[in-house]
Amino acid sequence: MEELRFDGMVAIVTGAGGQEPSLGRAHALFLARRGAKVVVNDIGTGPDGRGEVPASAAAVVEEIRAAGGVAVADSHSVATRESAEAIVQTALDSFGGVHILINNAGMALLAPFDELSDGDICRMMDVHMMGPIWMCRAAWPHMKKQRYGRIVNVGSSAMFGTFGSSVYAAAKGGTYSLSRVLAVEGEEYGIKVNTVLPMAGTVAITHLQSDSEFTRAQMRKPPELVSPVVGFLSHHTCPCSGKAIEVGGGKACDVVLGTTVGYESKEFTMENVAGNWDLLVDRSGLQIAPDTYGDVRMSLKPYTPA
């Protein structure tokens, strides 16, 4: 098969200045090697958001340039509208456009729900939930005008329920839903939006998790084996929008939602629900839900900004 390339494309990769091993760094290098001009974004505070594990967008840019690629560093945060717009402006000023957006920036502080500080809750939501929102908002009008765009939001399987990740998981679940709706709204403009759920060994894993067989197994999965899926979802030949792809260790799979056949009755009481609970949750006739509900077009009333 002919090599899939990104010549003439401008890509923004947020949170791409991490030390090796790093997902954002791997994605930026991958896109640059295949011809994309890359904005390497990172504020330099590392995976905990506190600077204990520093990162450097400039260092990754030097790696790209040393390998013959084209890149520029950006140090704005994704967490506010103004700073997100500044990141996109860096792409416009440096390369004249934006075609690809990889919303990879993140920080995580894992702890039981009732132990997290209010400040850390807000920081995680600002980066993991509001970050993709502000970045998509900043890039959207440019992609809409050119009737082309590829957005890859980075989710996490933590959204299905893992101990100590309540707020992080909530934000990642929200990002997944954001992708599905933007996939619908972007369809007529040639904008495709998907989610990846990466499984890889990174500096964040060793910094945030204590040593265990689970952690060691994660560290055996190189970030570079996530980048091919991120790249394909960023390519002009990408065939899908609204999907969630779990990828790691050389394996990728489609993550889907489903519904059971369920329980239905004309006498729908709480007692009848309790008595038929096993039928309600029986997965033997599981039906896969569509990636999006793009064929359901609600008639919206005129919107007036507050």
The domain total for the chain is 2
Q: What share of residues in the chain are helix, strand, coil (percent, to 5)?
A: 40, 15, 40
Q: What is the CATH number of the domain that holds 15?
A: 3.40.50.720
Same domain, 283 and 217: no
- Per-residue confidence band for 48, with pLDDT thresholds at 50, 70 and 90: low
Same domain, 144 and 278: no
What is the pLDDT of the chain when averaged over all its residues? 92
Same domain, 212 and 270: no
224 SS3 class: helix
Is residue 55 assigned to a domain? yes
Whether 293 is catalytic is no
1 SS3 class: coil
pTM of the model: 0.92
Same domain, 94 and 211: yes
Residue 203, pLDDT above cutoff 70: no
Question: Quick one: average pLDDT of 5-31?
Answer: 94
Same domain, 72 and 143: yes
Same domain, 220 and 266: no
The DSSP call for residue 188 is: G
Residue 242, pLDDT above cutoff 70: yes
Is residue 265 assigned to a domain? yes
Asked if the peptide bond before residue 47 counts as cis, ω within 30 degrees of 0, the response is: no
- Residue 293: which H helix or E strand, with range? none
Name the active-site residue from 148, 168, 263, 303. 168
Same domain, 135 and 281: no
Same domain, 283 and 137: no
- Per-residue confidence band for 301, with pLDDT thresholds at 50, 70 and 90: confident
Range of the domain at 41: 10-255
Q: Which of 25, 19, 53 is CA-nearest to residue 40?
A: 25
Same domain, 157 and 176: yes
Is residue 87 assigned to a domain? yes
